[in-house]
Structure 1
Amino acid sequence: MPITPPPPPLSRFNLFKRFLGIFLPLCLVLAVVGGLHYYTAYSAERSTREASESLNVDLARRTIDSDIGIVVSDLMFLAEHLQRQGLVAPAREADTRRIGQEFLVFARNKGLYDQIRYLDERGMEVVRVNYNRGRPEIVPEAALQNKSSRYYFQAALSLPRGDVYISPLDLNVEGGRIERPLKPVIRFGTPVFDATGRRQGIILLNYLGNRLIHNFTRAAANIADHVELLNQEGYWLSSPRSGEEWGFMFGRSEVYGSHHPAAWARIAREPAGQFQDPDGLFTFATVYPERVALAAVRPPRQRQSTALPGEDRFWKIVSRVSNGELAATPLSFARKHLTLYLAMFFLLALGSWFLAQARYRHHLAEAQRDYEQRFRHTLENIELAAVALDRNGVVTFCNNYFLRLSGWQRREVIGKQWLDTFVPPVLRSRVERLFATMNAPDRFPSRLEGEVRTRNGQLRLIAWNNTLSYDPQGRVIGVTGIGEDITEQRRVEEELRKLSQAIEQSPSIVLITDREGRIEYVNPKFVEVTGYTLNEVRGRNPRFLKSGETTADEYASLWQTVSAGGEWRGEFHNRRKNGELYWESASISAIRGPDGEITHYLAVKEDITERKRLEQEVEERNRELARSQALTAMGRMASMVAHDLRNPLSSVKMTLQILGKSPGVEENAEARELRNISLEQIRYMEEILSDMLTYSRPDALKPEWITIDKVIAVAINLSHRRIEEFGVELSCHYHPGLPTLHGDATKLRQVFSNLISNAVQAASEVEQPRVGIDTMVELGESGTGIRVEICDNGHGIRDEDRERIFEPFFTTRSKGTGLGLAIVSRILEQHRASIRVEPNHPRGTCVSVVLPINPGTSTAEQQR
């Protein structure tokens, strides 16, 4: 409750009503006066703005007209000067040099023209002076060009004596490309004649358009932020926004009409004017370059022709003031006259207030008494403790609820000191300091909590809302407190606080959802494990964490259990915010309300990723131990077989080879064939022994940084004989950007040689055997790797055989030990690589090998 004098509603209302009765009519008069003042000022400012826009646009137009007139005057001066000097007769070397010198002096002194040229009637440049960025020079004769095919030459040459050709304003193009930096150019040309009146050629000035645009911008400096120069198609020649200029030179379709179609239709149709539409206030004028040139050549009464080539060409000067800027006038008016009108407003308010307050003071005392009576009546009937104290701390009032709460009788309380009766000794000094702050009402607390001692000595915690009482002179005379017993509430809150801390500090994940499965709460452990904050997950279903490994049936079983009020226990393989996978054990149960209905679901989880990793590591160690024991036994057997069979095989092989080379020993074809078959079978048995030794005694890796394309190329060469034998078409494709990888080149060559040989042998069973090798970069969850796919178009592998092809001694062919793919699998395991066999479409088999770029610690582990 506020610490202010109690406001009697009737008195306040009467005071306010009387105040408004005086103040509102005066405000109405002030508003009418202000409106008339604003309308007058707005009309004057609007007229001034419109006149300023028109004057600036017209000034810009006259500046452009003046620039064109100056150029035309220079052109006519040069033409007449050359004609009078007789320099335009058929070219003579002396005349040409003289023309060049005069052009050079003219270009240096004027500084307006990028080029000054004299072309003969065939379009050949006779003299050309380039401005060359302020260092004019005469172009050598060898560099002069023939311009007979250019439009400006043909147009200028066809003009009668004294007429001027003006080209469009565009960007200079050199060698078929727009010159950089951009160089706007206008070409002015006029024909010249010799003394007999015979047409000898043209004088051509390349006027630097930057000067015209610069003069245009200077002339319209007052409106430079919103004035634009447009050609007749609506393309910008000059704009406050440089990115819009010269769009027609760069193939852009954006024109002025794209932004303001209705306004542009009117601007293009009318020569000049000013109008306002929903886009703003438009002021425009038109420049007709040819008409300006014609007017500069001769007065209208002396013109021999009514039009020049391109005389309908025009430029538009347009300024636009947005409606927002025009509407800013009221704000400007307010800023200018705000002080005056605020002073008048406050004077009216102050006077009205003083007049209304006179009646208010008359009723104040009576209203105060009425208020106190009604207030005490209210306090007696509320179900809250109510106590009134004077400024000395003596109890002047208490209601029945307070008496029941404290156990005292009214006569035992009224007139007693609050400190002596109800305040525990340990709190006495604090309450005394509180009473002392009554002298400074702004510091007296409106709300506080304090313990009250009951008659039997118990302490009850009361939350007080305090209101200070004042006498008619505004002095504090006491305080009234309305309090609620919050003893039990605080006890419950303390228990909840402990429970909340236990959940917040729990080493387990705690997650609470509503009945629809939307998350309402997660504890800090959830944030630590998943990386998601409470704000990121609130309102979301926990399914966003799933990695896809838990089946829909498992989720259905979960919801069926918890929806029925049971408890579900299980494990999830979920995904963290950073993409990492983790394991968690979960216990999920329902939370019921007082009516027994399920209101929420509670999930208590534990991160078991490390435990799973350790279990997997133990399992892998056990498998490695079993494999090592099996390999040890196989190694002993292989060593025995190799020792017992290799020597006899070598002896038999050597004998057969010697027999075939012994001099004087003749053998018929049948004997030779039998000897060759025997040698072939011996080599086959040697390969079997070699595979058995390789599988049973795997060598340690010798890793180095290698390139996969070289490894595959060598593997293809190793299989070259078999490829040619079966007539297989082999294609190999390497994607760009393949990185180097850390591995054993020799063992990887063995892997790909075995896989290519298998693919070639499988494809040889069809009419047009083909094998394709495709190598690319693989971006997987475990990092960057290289994927090699070897595909054939053979008959494929049966599904039941595909699961067993990597088992030792398993083969689908009549010949072979079945150790080739087992060796491949063993080598790839050493490199921490993966291999997958899938059907090829429309037929055949695809073997996909993914090699990590850096297998990490795999080498050391395999060596151990």
Structure 2
Amino acid sequence: MFHKSKSGNICQPKPLCLETLKFFIPSLLLLTIALGIHYAVIVHEQNLLIAQEESLKVEQTRKKLEQKILRMQADTLRFAELVGHQTEKMVTNRDAIARQFSHIMAFKPQYMQVRFLSSDGAEKVRLERTINGVSRQLNHLLQDKSHRRYFQEGIVLQPGTVYLSPLDLNVEWHSPQPEKLTMRMATPVSADNGETVGLLVINYDGVALLKELLSVFEDTQKPSTPFGTFRLVINSVTVEFTRLDDQKIQFTLLESEEDSSETKLSSKRLNGPDGGQLWQPEERLTTYSSLSPLDGIANSSWWVSHTIVTGRIQKTSTVFFGNLPLYIALLIILGVVSCLQAGHRLAVRQVQDEHLHQLTHIVELSPSAIMLTDSDARIFYTNAAFTQLTGYQSSEVKGYTPGFLQSSTANLEQYGKLWDTLKQGKPWHGEFHNRRKDGSLFWEAALIFPIRHPWSRETCYVAIKQDISNEKALQEKLKQETLVRFHQEQLVKIGRMANMIAHDLRNPLTSIKISLQMAQRRAQNSVDQPSRHDTLWGLALNQVEYMERILDDILNYSSQGQLHVQNLDTNMLLSRIIDEMQETLRKAGVTVNWSLAPQLPTMVADPARLRQVFQNLLNNALQATESTRGERFIGIETRFGLKNESPYLMVTITNNGKQMDCHTKNHAFEPFFTTRAKGTGLGLAIVKKQVDRHGGQVTIDSLNGIVQVCVVLPLCPTSEILTESSDRSGNALMYAVNEEL
């Protein structure tokens, strides 16, 4: 059978055969299991039939033996009663008794011997059956049987009871007689006055008895059927009967159960329940049953058992192979169905392979990076776009987890939420800031979702990624431009407000200040309470000066102007500022700790702007130490360094004033943010603004009781920085107050 794919190619026979075997072999295995179960059912049914048949035969044998022994008992008791009435005649005329015994034995062919023993065990009369008929033993050949077990146990019995011996060989003159298997039954003989005068003993032909019992096991319809082995167990004596090939019955007398492995195995079962069956090796079945002859009066353990070779395998095989045509038909149907199923599956697989090939081609050529991982998040596939995005070849990343792409800015909380979402079977959308093979950073938008196999329940994860570094850069640029625009709008508003203040407040404040100064001079020249007047005018002048400082801060922040750069000695600038503040520091009790780097190179900067930066920082440090108890100090440190082969100068100003919390540190450089009751909140904002204009950076930190402000400035700012700061200042002050004000 051949199938054509969409492309017109014919499916090769070899794949078809393989597909057929994939379906045929499991189906054949199932069929074999079904046949095995069918065979086991047939074996079980045959076992039940054989076991039921054997149980029925053994039960019939048991009942037949019990009935035979009961008839023997009745005959023995009637015989003993007859002898008891003739005890006086027996003493005077033994011949009459012998004739009576002979007459009875003529009608009882199963009687082998009939004897009358005196109360001391001596034989008085004995008749036995021979080949020529019934003969009487001569008086001089009569024996003393007082030592025999049947006499010792029988003479002490109560009248009306009998003694039943096991089957054994008849013993004459202390010599066992082969071929004479005997069962003895004895009963005491009582006179008319009730006195025990002797013992009547009858020997029964055991072989004839058992042959009559064995007729139950002979199959008259099938003479060739195996007879098996019949056993009669009385106490420890076992008699086995087996039919030979010439149809003759052979018996074996076993005096001890150890004499035969069969007897030993059966004995283990005979010590248990009253009957049952035992399967033995070589397909042998032993069925056994107990009986109580004379309703237990015999006081002995009697068992009958029958062992046969069942031939159940042969019987089962006959039945099983009788259904062989049906099995062959099923096998042919199975082969045809397997071939049809294989052809269908092969055609479906070819269509699926074509679709898979198309999908694989699409994935490989996809502009989005695609990555597949197993359930342990280990990569086993990446497409070409992944290599283009990260710089890693597919062979380099197989077996690794995607974590090797993480940059130092990775958000661990984001990864926790990612796995929580995937474990719920839901897709996850997000962005990663990862690192390429060459060390460069990039942004990617990722869609990750789980795929669970329908049979193995294994889960793999698919990640579809797209480079959004340009979008992120545009967003960041837009954000910066928005912040700049917002800042410029603030400057415009501040400029307008400063313009209003300059026109509306500067001139009145100047007039007030002049008037207060004139009034203070007059008060000093007055003789009426000069000190008190001088204090009041001084307070008023201080408030006016405070208002002027607020106005100066607003004007300084809103008006930038162009930077006038020149070579500047930073150590000298800091020394001059400290000298000017020396008196104020002395009055405040603040110690200045210097750590100025020697031979510090000059830098290109605007001295006036940097003076304003350091002056604001030192004033803030002085104000921060006001709440300090004990020693108060301000530290100044200058240092030279290189970063990316660009020289820079670092100025660090520290103080042991009030510590800053996270909120204060995060908003310290924002305009109008202040933690003091008095102040505009523009001091640090002016510092950051001027440092930024010089292309530098300023940071603030608070740790271990020390507040530290670090200013990093390039030794030589680029012309682009200076031009850009100048352009920004011009645009921002479009509506600002004129600097000359």
TM-score (normalizing by structure 1): 0.39
Higher relative contact order (CA 8 A, sep 6+): 2
Higher alpha-carbon Rg: 2
TM-score (normalizing by structure 2): 0.45
